[in-house]
């Protein structure tokens, strides 16, 4: 006869309810190999209707009803945010409870402290659901790929922005219209900042980079740009040039140049698999020296896919298949590289006067910054106002040089506006 492990839920919202339902469904099995029950749950508002049928006597607003409950062996934090999640997780670990969380923000900002507290108290802290929802990516980086030197981790790890960019690409729609639609469908929050300004992807790539490179990658060293500056026109021109636009989160490192983590919209060739990751799907590419390139794709959010990842962690702990104790000794940390040294091709879209010599002016400014032009398109000529779109693709250039050139381009009196500056992601030929 198996012993039942009591699970205490901090949070009973979208994911918490799905996890509770998965535990209840499992309990109904004739002879589950691992037996679980929901012993207690903590919420903010006791009167809210829940998407799970739990005995109301086990739901409370008092965090101690989970954290120091003797019937709880595993605490599952599904509230979100840095605080009070950090305090509750810390208290649970110190009380000798194993913890599972889906919270990327707390694992990004306070993950090292929490993992150290777990090790000191000889308990587990697992967080598979914190990045890319249902896709197993933390476990592979932590366990299966441990023998590899990781060259890069690159992904589409925010479903909301991918939904918006996919709609813009396929329907020629504007950002504001698609954002409103995403909000109506429940894919975007009423305050969309965390998603569209790249914070959510930033937290997640920080978590992945720490795992892949055994180096702290705090949020303030990660380059972050969101998608508000991407326009419908850019998809049209990018497509003519053989590209689409995605919000990428990338961490790459080697001993010479150091570790660079960045989140920004990028042109990617239509021929690479990442270009076909559409809608709310997520995907992560990992390149390891032994294994080569790996590809993970699937639902990056949603109650059941996220519950799948949370339940995987719960079952691993309950079955005793995770080793307890300190993590393996970390190799020497990488130095953090500066975004200014990043080198890639660039896409520029300018509104310029439609008269001779304009391109020569722009080419001179770029040339002065040591940037050469690969191709130029002149589009959407507005004869009445004497304007045209100038779309320029450069050869690879350093970020610092491009930023210098941008200032000089903005000073040209033949250029009305620099409308877009997007990086072109580099892929092996």
Residue 204 appears among annotated catalytic residues: yes
Does the protein bind ligand NAP through residue 56 (CB under 6 A)? no
Q: Are 334 and 260 in contact (CB under 8 A)?
A: no
Binding piece for ligand NAP, criterion CB under 6 A, among 99-107, 276-284, 334-342, 346-354: 99-107
Out of 6, 7, 12, 371, the only residue in the binding site for ligand NAP (CB under 6 A) is 12
Q: Which is nearer to ligand NAP, 11 or 198 (CB)?
A: 11
CB of 67: closest distance to ligand NAP in angstroms?
11
Q: Say how far residue 57 (Cα) sits from the centre of its chain.
A: 37
359 exposure class (CB count in 10 Å sphere: 0-12, 13-18, 19+):
middle
Q: Is 163 left (phi over 0), alpha (psi -120 to 50) or beta?
A: alpha
Binding piece for ligand NAP, criterion CB under 6 A, among 78-86, 245-253, 269-277, 336-344: 78-86
Out of 45, 191, 332, 411, the only residue in the binding site for ligand NAP (CB under 6 A) is 45
Tokens in use for 352? Answer: 């310029």
Tokens in use for 31? Answer: 């002879």
Q: Which of residues 290-349 bind ligand NAP (CB under 6 A)?
A: 301-302, 306
Does a cis peptide bond (omega within 30 degrees of 0) precede residue 11? Answer: no
Binding piece for ligand NAP, criterion CB under 6 A, among 65-73, 102-110, 190-198, 280-288: 102-110
Q: Which of residues 79-98 bind ligand NAP (CB under 6 A)?
A: 79-80, 84
Which entry of 204, 233, 246, 345 is annotated as an active-site residue?
A: 204
Residue 6: Cβ within 10 Å count: 20
From first CA to last CA, the distance across the chain in angstroms is: 57
* Cβ partners under 8 Å of residue 57, min gap 6: none
- The pair phi, psi for residue 345, each rounded to 5°, is -80, 160
Q: In whole angstroms, what is the distance from residue 321 CA to residue 329 CA?
A: 20
146 exposure class (CB count in 10 Å sphere: 0-12, 13-18, 19+):
exposed
Tokens in use for 110? Answer: 């306070």
Determine the residue with CB nearest ligand NAP: 13
Q: Which is nearer to ligand NAP, 13 or 333 (CB)?
A: 13
Angle at 126 between CA 194 and CA 301, to 5 degrees: 40
Q: What is the dihedral of CA 136, 141, 143, 148, to 10 degrees?
A: 140
Does the protein bind ligand NAP through residue 238 (CB under 6 A)? no
Does the protein bind ligand NAP through residue 32 (CB under 6 A)? no
Q: How many residues bind ligand NAP (CB under 6 A)?
A: 23
Three-class DSSP category at 202: helix
Q: Which is nearer to ligand NAP, 129 or 250 (CB)?
A: 129
CB of 129: closest distance to ligand NAP in angstroms?
5
Q: Which is nearer to ligand NAP, 269 or 302 (CB)?
A: 302
- Structural Rg of the chain based on CA atoms: 24
Q: Which is nearer to ligand NAP, 194 or 358 (CB)?
A: 194
Binding piece for ligand NAP, criterion CB under 6 A, among 43-51, 267-275, 363-371, 404-412: 43-51
Q: Which is nearer to ligand NAP, 11 or 288 (CB)?
A: 11
Out of 5, 6, 8, 11, the only residue in the binding site for ligand NAP (CB under 6 A) is 11
Q: Which is nearer to ligand NAP, 207 or 371 (CB)?
A: 207
Does the protein bind ligand NAP through residue 416 (CB under 6 A)? no
Angle at 225 between CA 221 and CA 228, to 5 degrees: 160
Contacts to ligand NAP by CB under 6 A = 11-16, 42-45, 48, 78-80, 84, 102-104, 129, 133, 301-302, 306
Active site residues: 204
């Amino acid at each position: 006869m198996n012993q039942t492990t009591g699970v205490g839920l901090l949070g009973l919202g979208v994911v918490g309810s799905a996890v509770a339902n998965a535990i209840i469904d499992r309990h109904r099995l004739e002879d589950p190999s691992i037996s679980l029950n929901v012993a207690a749950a903590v919420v903010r508002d006791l009167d809210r209707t829940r998407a799970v049928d739990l005995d109301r006597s086990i739901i409370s607003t008092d965090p101690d009803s989970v954290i120091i409950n003797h019937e709880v062996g595993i605490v599952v934090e599904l509230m979100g945010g840095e605080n009070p999640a950090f305090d509750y997780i810390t208290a649970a670990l110190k009380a000798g409870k194993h913890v599972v969380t889906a919270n990327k923000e707390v694992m990004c900002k306070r993950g090292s402290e929490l993992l150290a507290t777990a090790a000191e108290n000889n308990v587990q802290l697992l967080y598979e659901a914190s990045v890319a929802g249902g896709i197993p990516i933390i476990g592979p980086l932590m366990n299966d790929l441990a023998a590899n030197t990781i060259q890069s981790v690159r992904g589409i790890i925010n479903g909301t922005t991918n939904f918006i960019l996919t709609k813009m690409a396929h329907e020629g729609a504007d950002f504001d219209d698609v954002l409103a639609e995403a909000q109506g469908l429940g894919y975007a929050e009423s305050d969309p900042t965390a998603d569209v300004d790249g914070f959510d992807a930033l937290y997640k790539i920080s978590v992945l980079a720490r795992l892949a490179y055994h180096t702290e990658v705090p949020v303030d060293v990660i380059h972050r740009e969101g998608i508000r500056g991407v326009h419908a026109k850019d998809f049209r021109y990018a497509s003519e040039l053989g590209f689409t636009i995605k919000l990428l989160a990338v961490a790459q490192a080697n001993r010479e140049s150091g570790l660079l983590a960045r989140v920004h919209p990028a042109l990617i060739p239509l021929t690479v698999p990442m270009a076909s990751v559409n809608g709310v799907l997520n995907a992560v590419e990992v390149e390891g020296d032994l294994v080569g390139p790996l590809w993970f794709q699937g639902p990056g959010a949603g109650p059941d896919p996220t519950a799948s990842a949370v339940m995987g962690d719960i079952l691993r702990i309950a079955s005793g298949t995770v080793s307890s104790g300190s993590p393996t000794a970390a190799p020497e940390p990488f130095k953090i590289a500066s975004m200014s040294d990043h080198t890639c091709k660039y896409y520029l879209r300018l509104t310029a006067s439609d008269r001779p010599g304009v391109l020569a002016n722009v080419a001179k400014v770029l040339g002065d910054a040591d940037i050469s032009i690969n191709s130029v398109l002149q589009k959407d000529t507005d004869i009445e106002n004497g304007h045209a779109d100038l779309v320029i693709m450069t050869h690879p250039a350093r970020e610092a040089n491009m930023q210098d050139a941008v200032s000089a381009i903005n000073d040209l009196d033949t250029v009305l506006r620099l409308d877009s500056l997007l990086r072109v992601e580099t892929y092996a030929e």
